[in-house]
Amino acid sequence: MNEQSNDRVRVSDDERRESPRVSMRFLVRRADTADMFESREGNLSLGGFAWFGAALPVGSKVEVRFTLPGSIDEFHLRGEVLNVGHGSKGSSAHARFLELPVEAEMRIARYLDDLELSESNPRGGA
């Protein structure tokens, strides 16, 4: 089976795992429901997102909405819960993006790259 697509840039799982995670506030709800979106603190990476509190069971499909800092465009994406954890901040759910459009993936990657670059540049100068 050929999984290549001319419409998508494929990013390997290893590359996604190496992606930095940045703190973000999300609006999350179970997918395909009329439930209200709940505001949650979490983090964003190239392959997905995580949030704290009110974790859904593994395998649950979710909808997430968020805006990258410095942008007015809101992402409205779907994900699948891969694992649920319990730590110092309580319950957390980790989800991978499903059917992530190329444009969205590129914008998220650009944001993460820009953030990583700005954090690696020394402040001030000699």
Tally Cβ neighbours within 10 Å of residue 41. Answer: 14
pTM score, whole prediction: 0.76
What is the token pair recorded at 33? 């429901």
pLDDT-derived band of residue 20, with 50, 70 and 90 as boundaries? confident
**Residue 35 three-state SS:** coil
The model's confidence at residue 31, banded by pLDDT at 50, 70 and 90, is very high
76, β-bridge pairs: 65
CB 77 within 8 A of CB 104: yes
Q: Which domains does the chain have, with CATH numbers?
A: 14-119 (2.40.10.220)
